[in-house]
Each structure stands twice: as C-alpha cells, then as structure tokens.
A and B are shown apart, each in its own frame.
Chain A
Amino acid sequence: MNRFDYVRAGTVAEAVQAFGAGARFIAGGTNLIDLMKYEVEKPGRLIDITRLPLDRIEDQGNGLRIGALATNAKVAYDDRVAERYPLLRNAILAGASAQLRNAASTGGNLLQRTRCYYFYDVATPCNKREPGSGCTAIGGMNRIHAIFGTSEHCIATHPSDMCIALAALEATVQVSGPQGDRSIPFSEFHRLPGDAPEQDTNLAPGEIIVAVDLPESRFPQHYTYLKLRDRLSYAFALVSVAAALEFDGDRVKTARLALGGVAHKPWRNREAEALLEGKPATRQSFQAAADLIVAEAKPQSENGFKIDLARRAIVRGLEQAAAGTPQSLSDKRIQ
C-alpha cells in the first residue's frame, strides 16, 4: 500500500474541493483498500467521506432516495426496500458476505472494479490498470469474463449484484462535483470498455455520488434475482439475472431484465424486454427473449458456456418472476 494524504471531509463541498489528481474518495473501503494492498490503486490522497450526512434512506415523491453512504446491509434490511423494492434487497443479499455488506456503501458498490485476475495481478499487463499495456485475459484464463460488449482492449465484467437490480429498476444516480450537481440514468452510469477500459463509469473527475433514486415501485411481487456461481455463497456471479415483471391481467405489461457477470456493465436489452411485453408469460416467450439476448454474445476461449448458461438463467429467472417465487437467499435449491 502506497503512502497517501488523508483528508476527512465534513461536507460534500469540502470533499469535492479536496479532490485533485490521484485522489480517491473512500467510504466502506471494501474494494479500494483491497486494491491498494495489491498496488492496483495507488491514490495520492484519500478523502474520507464517511462523516458526510449521506446515509439516509428517505421517501422521495413516489420513489425512494438512498443516500450514497447507506451501507449495503442498511439498504437490504430497510422495510421500505423490502416492501417496495425486494429485487434490490435480494440482489444485495446475494453478494459478498454479511461483514462486507455491513461496511460497503451504496455509492462504493456502484464503483466496484472488475474481478478480472489480470487486472488484480500487477505482474501481468492489463489495459484497465495500465492503458496500452495489453489485455492478458484475451486468450488466457477468461472463464469468468464477459460475453457481451467486449472490445479488443478489455473483456472484464462488472462485479456488482446490487447494480444489476438497480439497472432493472431504472434507478438514477445523483452526483455532485466541481461543475455542480447532476443526475445520471443508471443505464448511462457504467460504460463498455471500448478503447478506454480504464474508465469504468461516466463519472467526471471529482464527482461524488450522493444518492441513488429509485422510481415508483412497480415490481413488488413479480421479481427475482437469480445468481449462478462457483460455490453456493460468497462468490461472484458467473451469470446473474435480475428479472422484474408488471402484469396487466395475464399479460406482461412491463418487463425488465438485467444480467450480471456477463459484461462490463449491467447488461440490458430493450428489444428483448419489448418482446415480452403485451404477451402472456409463457416459457416460449421467455425463450424467445433469451435467444434474442444471447444472439449478441461473443465467447472468449474459455467462457463459451456462459452463453448457454445465460440463456437458461434468463428463462428460469423470468419463470420465477412470473410465478412470484423469487429465488430464496438461504435455500439454495433453485426455484
């Protein structure tokens, strides 16, 4: 871990003001300190934002505003979240461990960096860590890597579970920065790697996440977060599916699907969602949507199985959502 200055900010403005080249905001620290110990992150300054008054969860019109410093555990166990946004609760509780969720913040969760082995290992080239050095994952150990939206520069995935639910719920990210405040629709928050894989998000330098807004609840019954991984808990997703359905009689009025573990950002396909809408919820229609989504997939040398797994997981996720039988967090039998 490198040497750095430490600033404890008392207000958002102070935090933004303390920002400069090489600085990082720190809240839960569960990913940043991890990366600093590996010398992947070497900030010259840490700006401690944990004392900012940003940990509240409050009603906001018909929606809910989640303060950026609310811990993952606080959000997951909030009664309003449980009642109105159970998809978010389930996604959060499918990730990490109880200890990590007690420390990790909402804002930090959005900024989690990829778990690509090569990104983490400074002995190997990585374009995300050192732009221009090359991507070692291509042609290497890429069983866990992306099948959607990859580039020749980077095939890493976004690791968060919570963000997959936020993508499906069409949350909005509220940020504050040197240029003032702005809102970023969730779908525009994370980026695809393209030719600048070092940028995970569209946050501008010095911008700080202050809140995540959830729109009016529409999926309190027909939802699921289905996560497939290499062990039954405490592992990142190979493929995960956040599915949410709103019904009009026996027909799907609104469908939302977001996939985790398969792309550099939560992966959505509006066409596939549209394909489900206005029709009865049948396995056939779920399969058609799944086929449409995976048609875009591009396998790497070792992760071709993810295409098939994603297709099957989408269908099962939609079945769970339609039936109102969301995946249990503790009973590992898949519904």
Chain B
Amino acid sequence: MKKILLSSIIVLIGVTFVLRLSYLQLFRFSPNQVLEDTAVKAIYDYPERGYIYDRNGKLLVANQPAYDVMVIPREVKPLDTLEFCSLLGIERDQFIKSLKKARVYSPRLPSVLVPQLSKEDYARLQEKMRKYEGFYIQKRSLRYYDTPSGANVLGYISEVNEDDLRKNPYYVQGELTGRTGIEKQYEEILRGRKGVKFIQKDRFNRDIGPYKNGTLDTLPEQGKEIHISLDKELQEYGERLMVGKRGGIVAIEPGSGEILTLISGPTYDPALLVGRERSRNYSKLHYDTISKPTWDRAILAEPSPGSPFKTLNALVALQEGVIKPQTTFRCYNGFYVGNVKRGCHCGGGVRNLTSGIYESCNAYFAGTFRKLYDKYPTTDEGMDVWEKHIKSFGLGNYLGYDLPTGRPGRIPSKEYYDRVYGDNRWSSTFIISNSIGQGEVAATPIQLANMTAAIANRGYFYTPHLIKKIAGEEADISNFSERKYTTIDPQHFEPVIRGMADVYTKGTAKWLQVPGIEIAGKTGTVENYTRINGVKTQLTDHSVFVAFAPVDNPKIALAVYIENGYYGARYAGHIASLLIEKYLKGEITRKDLEKRMLEKTLEHEYAKPYSGEEFKINEYVW
C-alpha cells in the first residue's frame, strides 16, 4: 500500500488532467472559433445593397449616403466646443453628454456622436474636421426611395436583433437586414456578401497586425439589383385612390402570375422609415391600432369574399353537372331556408346562370348550392367535393407568393363543421351562406385576385409573385413558372365569364363601363360585424369587386376590397374600373368619376364605431 500509494496518485492525476483537457479541447472546442476569438477582430467591408426597379425598369429603391460623426474618446484633444457644436448643429450640453456616454462605453473604441448628419451639415463640417482630433466622419449607406408608394411591398431594413443573430450566424451586431416585404424576402440577393479582414488584437484591444497574414480575409460580393413585377405608375395611382379608405387591392397579370400592384390602405411613405426620425415614425405607425397602416390588408385581411364567390359556386355546379347554363330558379325577392326567409336585392323573377351572376341573385345560388349537395348521398361527401373544387383556385390555404407574410383564408371542410356543430349535427342548410360568399368562407384580397386570374385564364393560374429579374436576368423560379390547373374543365368558364361581362353591360356595374374595353367583373357586398363594448354590432358592408380585362385576352385581373365601402359597385367597383383603364390605356377618360374617387373618403364611416353614439349603417348618402 505504502509503496504504490504515490504511484497511484500520480497516475490518477494524469488521468484526471487528460479527461479535463479532452473536455476543454475536444468537446468544448468549436471549430468556428476565428469569429468567436476575442483576440481576433473582424473588420467588415460592406457591399452596396442592390437597387429595386419596377417591371418597366423604373427605379423604386436606391441607396443614399448618410454621415455619422464618430468619436474615439481617448484621442480627443482640448477643443473649442462652442465652435464645434455650432458646426454639428447640436447643443453644448448634448455634446458633453454624448461624449461622456461614448467614454463610458469605451475610451478606445469609436462611438457614434451624432448620427446621420444632413448633407448640408456634412458639407460644412467636412473641411474643418481635421482640426478636431479624435473625431471623424463615417459614411453609411441608407435606403433611398424614388417613390412614395409601395411601402407594404418593398418593406424596410433595420438593425439585426438578438433573434436574427441567433438564427443566422452571418450577421453581426449592428448590421442591417430586410425586415419586411421584398427587402426581407430577397435579403440575400439584395445584401450581397460582406468582405472580412481579420486583425490580431492584444488584451487592450489594440491592433497588432493582420491575423495569419490575411490568408483568411475575403473580398465583399456586390448585392444584386432586382426588378419586381409592380407597375410603379399603377401602384402610385392606386394608392392615391385609396387615400382616406381602408382596404386592399391586388392586380395580377393572368398570363404570368406577376403582381402588377399590391396596395394596402392606409399606407405610409417608405421614406419615413429611414434616417434619424426612423424610430419615432415607426412607433407612430406601429401603435396606430385603429387604422393599422403597417398591417398589409392586401395579403393579411381575411373578410368573407361576398358575391364574387358565386362565380366559383357556379363553376363547381357546372362541373358537377347539377345545373346547365339555361337552368332557372325563381327568386321571390329572397329564398327560404326552412321557414326562415333570406333576402335578395336582385329584384326578383326567374333567373338563369347569366342573369343570376349579373344581377347577383342570392336565391339562384342558394338553389344551385342545394342541388350540388343533393347530388351526393350525404352532406359529408358533397362537402368534400365542393371543398376540393374551391381549393383548386388557391383559396383556403397559403398561396406561396414571394412575400414573407400571408394568411390562408378559410374554406370550411366537413371537419370544420363537425368541430363547430358536432358530428352529424349539421346539414346543407347550415352552410347555405357559403353559396353567396358569406358565412364561413374567407379569403384575402390576393386570393380573390388570383381566383379572378384563374377564371380569366379559363381554368389555371400561376402562383402570384413579385420577382421579375435578378441582376438583369429573368428570374426562373419553377414554382412561379408552372401552371396550376383548377379542377374545372375549360368549357364551363365561358357562360360564367359571359355573366361577368354582363355585370358591366347590364348588371350591377353598368355605370362603370370603360369605353373601348370589355371587362368581366363581379360585385360583392359583404355584411360584417364588430364588437363595441362587447355587443355584436353590424357595420356598413364591405365593398368588394373582382374584375379582369379585356375579356378575350386578359391582361389584368384584380380584386378590390374596401372596408365599409357599402355595396360592391360603389368604392371597389369605381376603383377597379379606374385601375383597369389606367393600366390598359395609360390615362383616364372619365375625369369626373376619377375626381370623385380621389376626393371621397370613408373617414366618417370609420369614425362611427368609435363615436360612442348610435349610428346608421349602409346610408345611401353619396
């Protein structure tokens, strides 16, 4: 025992050391250590962020220089603070406070003293800067917007946060990243790749030369420019029409799926989120919880689609063979569900498919819907068939377009009703509202626009998208270039499109014809409710309109959704016809109609629920 005691201790110690060392050097060692090494500083060389152009090559987003005044506190020599402050355009107290703050942060490292000088201040300061030791001007690049529109589509960039840093090791504290919209979706293309230089430091954080003689250093890779499918003029025009209104507009080129315009109202000038005032402006927009300017209604609002949905129900009924175009239903200024009468605004009388559409007859589509369900032995089976057809139009699920947010909308399934009412405790009368686009169905404006494009194409659509060119070359993304077919055969579209064309010639939108262009459209008037102090209260109907034109060779398909705009032909119909004319002709011939739309606002309507008083809805005042 005595003889081996010391030997055992020696061996035990050796084993312990080796175990600890293998824990440190083999287990805890991370091979990605150059970036984490406190003894190595990485200096980044940032490439310029790519520009964004519209479909016609018009500039939307570029970059502008901004100038930060930086300070390295320990290098500051006594100076004439009064003169310097007047050059900087700041108060002396503020100057002293900022300098103190910088010193607390680090006497050796640069801090921002005055962020983002104006160009004028910069010009004045530039020449005299040499006089002030320890201060220098650092150029930064900010986004510059060559349009007041499209904030919701373009998105904005901002500094990376903790979450970004955790998710993506590329970023370093203080860098910028696309936060929403195109800036986020195509971040990596626009951003490029920063170059890096590694510098060996000592423990006082002083540079003592290149790390490994610069063998690990990289050059920056330029950000690429992109062209997006928006039409700058149409987008700007549409946003002007939306002033004072809430809602969303989406226009798509049916032949390609390219999004021509994507408008959310109210919106804001994208330039607000750049520069010194950025955070103040952002809070103002973000905390406006009533009009929600940062909430993109074009892709996030999910109202019931209303009457435009009737066109789909007609197509499904034709496909299933339960009606023919000449099949008629009688409208008694409404229809009966059991003993309960539901109203209709069409004026009553015998309706066939075309007049059912152009007069938007509720009774006709309720009848059609029943026939569809009567074809199958159980409601469950009818429901499955109906759901399959409707969903083939891109409804009830995420569309897959190239914006980072979206909503699926809702096409109810039998499981949905089983959940709501219980298994086998519902029947077709429970779901009859879906026949006219009310009830449980819900769709975002972009889904409605896509549905309209599918009708315009007579049976297929391309996934809507914004990307057009990357670095001057046509973007080739298979998801956006392949046709998505609906489950409806092409021959069933013609009678429905006829009915939609008649909407303009003799139906609900006959006052909105555009001279020289044949348009197919469908109005929608959507009942909606809100809660005021916990009481369910009906508000003025939403105004919805879908249309495409020209009927025989569609160039544009769009959906317009105006909150509380009353009946479909009113706000939504007007705006739709103006946008179609603007896009196809380039100018507006109906100046009075245009003037009315530019001037009218719905602010009085939006103020009603907040007035605290009783109010009337659906007023005919115009």
On whether the two chains bind one another, the answer is no
Residues in chain A within 8 A of chain B (CB atoms): none
